[in-house]
């Protein structure tokens, strides 16, 4: 058994059974070893940003890490934007980054670079496997670190000679840390706040945006009149008819200020205190209203859902005192498409158990509202703000959940970062429907140009926010990558194509022509 | 005048007049300011790897930096693979990386990350502009640093508030360092080596692969019988009929060993001592033959060409004692395409003044031989080994040299890293012809799988080196990005399409279907 075999065997023994890969020469022994451990599924990506984004989608849906396999520092760099998103989503992930053989590093060969420095910007756990006899143990620890709450990226740098040299064998799985229980005093303090009668909001995020956490939060807010809010960008929000609805904080600071206006107590439950996504001249970054006290019920490494349940019990909130969303589907619209009609069609058709990957940016603002009364589904968002997540995330979510339809709501500009992911969807026959909102614009930047206080942009600035010259054809791009595709310009056609796609196996891309909203 | 305006004005005053950009909200004032400084050409890329690769191509051809504009740490990460290549090519480049406002950093907003750590892996000069009154001076120093020999990446991190705040004005250009003159004693030492009669090779790289350097090197080797060799991956090699030919070191270590076999003295002239590109079990990394002495005539920061000319004079080499390549074009081939026939067609048609960007990997091995007798042209290669350089590099070279035809020889797997660059070629109407060798395979990895000593790969490993399932259509991809494209399967069709493209303005993609050579 060589180091690569012992590593892969250890990953599989720790239930890591998918590896999203874009290998190079230094990873050839790892690639070869995939054939020796049949339980590991190797999934090829044409670009590393697809591999890391897919591992993020897999981890969010499986609540267990997938592995990536990346080629040296440059492969890591190519995957780093989606690693950034995964870090913000607290997704468990095991990154394997190949490196030159240990005895080759001193030559500073052309592809050599400082991998540890680059990896440190996203990894919560980082190690270079120094010896073949250590690599299996390193891998077991990496999996445990990835799973340790709240979930993190564990990056293991794998020198080629550690991979190809003789190794003693696999290592036993390492038990990850468990979420710490929140102590009763803290729960009692929050109960006191809630009983004060002062305007209070409970802000949930991270692990709490699953059904169990939302039910507990709803019990508390229903019993006390507190306001229930969710973070702007949940990693995975369980929603739909019969579940508590979650009002998310807006993207724009002005709107968050309105949402929090008058709040005297803000209770954080696995959530971060709200700040402006970007800075704007003369506007505040910290969005907690003046005079509002911030209380932390639970952090991301604690059992936040358990703390909410204990809080609900402590204040005597009835177990069935939960605000549940009524089943409701939008009317099917007709006529020329716009972003609102796309949302309505999606809301009318979204199948039970769907996984929605939302990277629609400005075009997507109507989609959550139009789907809240649809059957149970998961909603995955861009936690780190680094665009190019959608198509890869959907790819990994589909690998993790082969019996569920994945729907990607994708902005045109964002789609172009990692369009290569469509090819992996075709290759693996994944049930992913991608709706690209083609408005020919970085619409969000047209909006932001005004918000940052820049005066009316001139022709050069305007042209840098415009992606319609030449027009992109997402149908051609998808077909070039092996994914069947169609362009639609009216709501009826979108309805027909979306309904068909939801009942056909394999990937499909629908290019929805919409006007730019801004 | 705000900080952004003072920065751009300073860049223009320092002759930096092209900016390859993919901006975000934190860069909106910079984008706006582009309209206030008309001399700066803003070129939009759909992905940051295109922007950085284009700046590399521009810098190699202009011998002067272009700027990039990247959005925060994630934008930098997306551009880092091509920054790595530019670092290895010693290309002068000024990277502008936007950051959150200084007063916003403490909030660790979603897109925040450690930009300096990531930038440090590629930058030879790195600074965060701390104050609006400093940013113009920072920019002037960045340009000088980029130009200081041998050329480097100067990365300036630009906080949003430094960009939008009032600033005093532009800064005067800063004179870059000049190449140090090599002292006479070192030249005399090398002359002694050359006169020893022992087998000697002169290895040139970096700044020496232009006509003047190659002429000086040829005088020396013609006069002494020494062997003239070039580095495997020159940043820019001037070649063609009437110029000295340069035998480049091979990519494969086994072949380099043959090329250096019997050499007793290896003279480095702005070149690095040869090492294996990757490590292989049981094979040496240092490729200098046993018993061979290594001498450095000049480093990358010295006047290496001047040193070679002084050496030639010292040993009495005649000024006209230069081995010049005879004009010669290959026969035009017929029948089903293969990589050799593609090379022959290129060699038959390559126009005077062409810029060839070579990222053809295994499929490209015949191209240098088939073009050596073609009219004068430049040959740009993948100095850092991080694939995804070709299409972006060609884009920037075409911006730098609007009156020259650019020909990109592109491998299918590598093309898929940064295919988005075709869109910028269409948008800017650049005269770039891209020939994609479609062999449906990471052919180089099939070869490397054997070379690293991994036994015959099984089905999973084999599938990870295969990109034919589903087949990629580069015609569809190009058309989706606004570039006209055609697929050719025989040599006659390639000849027709290539000849047409060389005489038509604007970009064109030719998908050449070839068998995998390995």
**pLDDT attached to residue A517:** 62
Query: Would you state the torsion angle of the CA atoms of residues B147, B149, B150, B154, taken in this order, to the nearest 10 degrees?
Result: -40
Q: Which residues contact B238 (CB under 8 A, 6 or more apart)?
A: B209, B210, B211, B214, B376, B378
Would you call B77 and A121 a contact, using CB atoms and an 8 Å cutoff?
A: yes
- Distance to chain A for B117, nearest Cα, Å: 6
Q: Which helix (H) or strand (E) holds A447?
A: helix A443-451
Q: Which residues contact A493 (CB under 8 A, 6 or more apart)?
A: none
Q: Return the bridge partners of A466, or none.
A: A441
**pLDDT attached to residue A277:** 95
Q: Which residues contact B241 (CB under 8 A, 6 or more apart)?
A: B324, B325, B326, B327, B328, B373, B374, B375, B376
Candidates A111, A461, A477; nearest CB to B35: A461
Candidates B84, B281, B423; nearest CB to A164: B281
Contact residues, chain A, for B42 at CB < 8 Å: 460-461, 463-464
Q: Which residues contact A504 (CB under 8 A, 6 or more apart)?
A: none
Measured CA distances, A433 to A308, A360, A478 (Å): 36, 14, 12
For residue A4, is the peptide bond before it cis, meaning its omega torsion is within 30 degrees of 0? Answer: no
Would you call A426 and B453 a contact, using CB atoms and an 8 Å cutoff?
A: no
Query: Would you state the torsion angle of the CA atoms of residues A484, A20, B443, B281, taken in this order, to the nearest 10 degrees?
Result: -170
Interface test with B, best of A102, A110, A391, A423 (most B CBs within 10 A): A110
Taking residues B50-74, what's their average pLDDT?
A: 98
Measured CA distances, B255 to B48, B199, B259, B275, B448 (Å): 36, 18, 6, 12, 14
C-alpha angle B448-B449-B452 in degrees, rounded to nearest 5 = 75
Would you call A386 and B74 a contact, using CB atoms and an 8 Å cutoff?
A: yes
The reply to whether B80 touches chain A by the CB within 8 Å rule is yes
- B48-62 and B72-89 helices cross at what angle (nearest 10)? 30
Beta strands in B116-214 (DSSP E): 125-128, 153-159, 200-204
Model confidence pLDDT, tens digit, residues B260-295: 999 999 999 999 999 999 999 999 999 999 999 999
Q: Residue A133: CA atoms inside 13 Å, Cβ hemisphere, count?
A: 0
Q: Which helix (H) or strand (E) holds B239?
A: strand B237-239
Domain spans, chain A? 3-164, 184-314, 339-513
Would you call B279 and A161 a contact, using CB atoms and an 8 Å cutoff?
A: yes
Would you call A31 and B413 a contact, using CB atoms and an 8 Å cutoff?
A: no
Candidates B23, B386, B423; nearest CB to A74: B386
Continuous H helices in A170-290: 184-195, 211-224, 253-260
User: What SS3 class is residue B284?
Assistant: coil
Model confidence pLDDT, tens digit, residues B459-511: 888 889 899 899 999 999 999 999 999 999 999 999 999 999 999 999 999 99
Centre a 10 Å sphere on the Cβ of residue B172 and count the other Cβ atoms it contains. 11
The reply to whether A105 touches chain B by the CB within 8 Å rule is no
Angstrom distance (rounded) from CA B307 to CA B185:
11
Contact residues, chain A, for B470 at CB < 8 Å: 423, 426-427, 481-482
Would you call A470 and B423 a contact, using CB atoms and an 8 Å cutoff?
A: yes
pLDDT at residue B93 tops 80: yes
Contact residues, chain A, for B78 at CB < 8 Å: 49, 77-78, 80-81, 388, 417
Taking residues B286-314, what's their average pLDDT?
A: 98
Would you call A118 and B114 a contact, using CB atoms and an 8 Å cutoff?
A: no
Would you call A28 and B452 a contact, using CB atoms and an 8 Å cutoff?
A: yes
Residue B24 φ then ψ, to 5°: -135, -170
- Distance to chain B for A451, nearest Cα, Å: 9
For residue A223, is the peptide bond before it cis, meaning its omega torsion is within 30 degrees of 0? Answer: no
- Parallel, antiparallel or unpaired: strands B153-159 and B93-99: parallel
**pLDDT attached to residue A89:** 98
Measured CA distances, B81 to A72, A73, A198, A335, B87 (Å): 10, 8, 53, 45, 10
Contact residues, chain B, for A77 at CB < 8 Å: 77-78, 80-81, 84, 118, 121
Would you call B164 and A281 a contact, using CB atoms and an 8 Å cutoff?
A: yes
**pLDDT attached to residue B484:** 98
Average of per-residue pLDDT values in chain B? 96
* Residue A427 CA, distance from chain mean position: 22
Q: How many CB pairs under 8 A join A and B?
A: 319
Residues 346-365 of A with CB under 8 A from B: none
Would you call B471 and A455 a contact, using CB atoms and an 8 Å cutoff?
A: no
* Edge-to-edge strand list for the sheet holding B125-128: B41-44, B18-22, B67-71, B93-99, B153-159, B125-128
Would you call B104 and A471 a contact, using CB atoms and an 8 Å cutoff?
A: no
* CA-closest candidate to residue A198, choices A224, A230, A216, A219: A224
Residues 429-448 of B with CB under 8 A from A: 444-445, 448
Angstrom distance (rounded) from CA B52 to CA B356:
18
Would you call B117 and A118 a contact, using CB atoms and an 8 Å cutoff?
A: yes
DSSP state of B103: G
Using CA coordinates, name the residue in chain A closest to B419: A420
- Distance to chain B for A184, nearest Cα, Å: 29
Model confidence pLDDT, tens digit, residues B367-421: 999 999 999 999 999 999 999 999 999 999 999 999 999 999 999 999 999 999 9
Centre a 10 Å sphere on the Cβ of residue B424 and count the other Cβ atoms it contains. 29
Using CA coordinates, name the residue in chain B closest to A101: B279
Contact residues, chain A, for B118 at CB < 8 Å: 77, 80, 117-118, 121
pTM for this structure? 0.98
The reply to whether A459 touches chain B by the CB within 8 Å rule is yes
Contact residues, chain A, for B90 at CB < 8 Å: none
Contact residues, chain A, for B391 at CB < 8 Å: none
Fold of B339-513: Rossmann fold (3.40.50)
Cβ B164 vs Cβ A283: under 8 Å: no
Cβ A438 vs Cβ A468: under 8 Å: no
Interface test with A, best of B77, B83, B95, B106 (most A CBs within 10 A): B77
Model confidence pLDDT, tens digit, residues B311-359: 999 999 999 999 999 999 999 999 999 999 999 999 999 999 999 999 9
The reply to whether B476 touches chain A by the CB within 8 Å rule is yes
Using CA coordinates, name the residue in chain B closest to A113: B121
Would you call A110 and B103 a contact, using CB atoms and an 8 Å cutoff?
A: no
User: What SS3 class is residue A218?
Assistant: helix
C-alpha angle B286-B237-B232 in degrees, rounded to nearest 5 = 20
Residue B349 φ then ψ, to 5°: -115, -15
Model confidence pLDDT, tens digit, residues B145-198: 999 999 999 999 999 999 999 999 999 999 999 999 999 999 999 999 999 999
Give the residue carrying structure tokens 């002068």: B92
3-state SS string for A348-370? HHCCCCEEEEEECHHHHCCHHHH
> What is chain B's length?
518
Cβ B397 vs Cβ B406: under 8 Å: yes
Q: Please, what are the averages of pLDDT over each run of 10 residues along chain A (518 residues)?
A: 97 98 94 94 98 98 98 98 98 98 96 97 98 98 98 98 97 98 98 97 98 98 98 98 98 96 98 96 95 98 98 98 98 96 98 98 94 98 98 98 98 97 98 96 83 79 90 98 98 98 98 83
User: How deeply is A169 buried, as exposed, middle or buried, from its count of CB atoms within 10 A (0-12, 13-18, 19+)?
Assistant: exposed
Centre a 10 Å sphere on the Cβ of residue B326 and count the other Cβ atoms it contains. 9
Would you call A101 and B279 a contact, using CB atoms and an 8 Å cutoff?
A: yes
Measured CA distances, B490 to A91, B334, B494 (Å): 49, 7, 6
Contact residues, chain B, for A287 at CB < 8 Å: none
Residue B18 φ then ψ, to 5°: -130, 135
Phi-psi region of A396 (alpha: psi -120 to 50; beta: other; left: phi over 0): alpha
Contact residues, chain A, for B446 at CB < 8 Å: none
Angstrom distance (rounded) from CA B274 to CA B260:
10
* CA-closest candidate to residue B406, choices B286, B306, B501, B516: B501
Please report the DSSP string for B390-421 in residue order.
HHHHHHHHHHH-TTS-EEEEEEHHHHTTSTTH
Contact residues, chain A, for B26 at CB < 8 Å: 278-279
**pLDDT attached to residue B453:** 72
Q: What are the tokens at B476?
A: 């569809």
Cβ B33 vs Cβ B6: under 8 Å: no
The reply to whether A413 touches chain B by the CB within 8 Å rule is yes
Angstrom distance (rounded) from CA B120 to CA A448:
29
Q: Does domain B184-314 have CATH number 3.40.50.1220?
A: yes
Interface test with A, best of B29, B35, B446 (most A CBs within 10 A): B35
Would you call B449 and A32 a contact, using CB atoms and an 8 Å cutoff?
A: yes
The CATH homologous superfamily for domain A3-164 is Thiamin diphosphate (ThDP)-binding fold, Pyr/PP domains (3.40.50.970)
Angstrom distance (rounded) from CA A414 to CA B34:
23
Fold matches, A184-314 and A339-513: yes
Q: Which residues contact A219 (CB under 8 A, 6 or more apart)?
A: A312, A317, A318, A319, A321, A322
* Cα torsion B135, B137, B141, B143: sign: positive
- Distance to chain A for B356, nearest Cα, Å: 21
Give the residue carrying structure tokens 């009002």: A247
């Amino acid at each position: 058994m060589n180091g690569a075999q012992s590593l892969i065997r250890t990953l599989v023994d720790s239930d890591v059974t998918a590896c999203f890969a874009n290998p190079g020469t230094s990873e050839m022994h790892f690639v070869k070893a995939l054939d020796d451990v049949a339980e590991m599924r190797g999934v090829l990506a044409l670009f590393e940003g697809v591999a890391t984004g897919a591992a993020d989608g897999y981890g969010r849906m499986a609540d267990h890490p997938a592995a990536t396999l990346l080629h040296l520092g440059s492969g890591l760099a190519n995957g780093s934007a989606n690693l950034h998103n995964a870090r913000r989503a607290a997704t468990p992930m095991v990154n394997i980054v190949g490196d030159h053989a240990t005895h080759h590093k001193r030559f500073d060969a052309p592809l050599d670079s400082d991998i540890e420095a680059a990896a440190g910007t996203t990894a919560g756990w980082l190690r270079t496997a120094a010896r073949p006899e250590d690599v299996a143990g390193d891998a077991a620890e990496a999996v445990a670190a990835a799973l340790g709450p709240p979930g993190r990226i564990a990056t293991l740098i794998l020198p080629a000679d550690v991979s190809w040299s003789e190794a003693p064998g696999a290592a036993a799985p390492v038990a990850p840390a468990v979420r710490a229980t929140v102590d009763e005093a803290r729960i009692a303090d929050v109960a006191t706040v809630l009983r004060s009668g002062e305007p209070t909001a409970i802000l949930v995020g991270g692990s709490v945006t699953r059904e169990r956490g939302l039910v507990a939060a709803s019990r508390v807010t229903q019993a006390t009149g507190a306001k229930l809010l969710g973070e702007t960008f949940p990693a995975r929000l369980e929603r739909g008819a019969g579940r508590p609805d979650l009002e998310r904080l807006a993207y724009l600071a002005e709107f968050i200020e309105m949402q929090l206006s008058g709040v005297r107590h803000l209770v954080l439950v696995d959530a971060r205190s709200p700040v402006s996504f970007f800075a704007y001249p003369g506007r505040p970054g910290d969005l907690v209203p003046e005079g509002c006290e911030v209380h932390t019920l639970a952090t991301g490494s604690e059992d936040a859902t358990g703390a909410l349940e204990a809080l609900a019990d402590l204040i005597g909130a009835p177990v069935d005192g939960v605000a549940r969303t009524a089943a409701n589907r939008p009317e099917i619209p007709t006529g020329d498409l716009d972003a609102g009609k796309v949302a309505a069609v999606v809301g009318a058709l979204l199948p039970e158990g769907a996984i929605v990957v939302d990277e629609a940016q400005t075009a997507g603002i109507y989609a959550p509202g139009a789907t809240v009364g649809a059957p149970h589904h998961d909603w995955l968002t861009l936690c780190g703000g680094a665009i190019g997540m959608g198509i890869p995330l959907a790819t990994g979510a589909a690998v993790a959940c082969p019996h569920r339809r994945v729907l990607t709501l994708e902005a045109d500009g964002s789609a172009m970062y990692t369009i290569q992911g469509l090819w992996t969807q075709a290759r693996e026959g994944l049930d992913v429907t991608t709706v690209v909102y083609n408005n020919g614009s970085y619409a969000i930047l047209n909006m932001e140009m005004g918000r940052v206080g820049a005066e009316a942009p001139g022709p050069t600035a305007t042209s840098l926010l415009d992606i319609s010259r030449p027009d992109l054809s997402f149908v051609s791009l998808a077909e070039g990558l092996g994914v069947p595709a169609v362009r639609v310009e009216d709501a009826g056609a979108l309805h027909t194509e979306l309904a068909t796609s939801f009942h056909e196996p394999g990937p499909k891309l629908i290019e929805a022509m919409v006007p730019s909203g801004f």
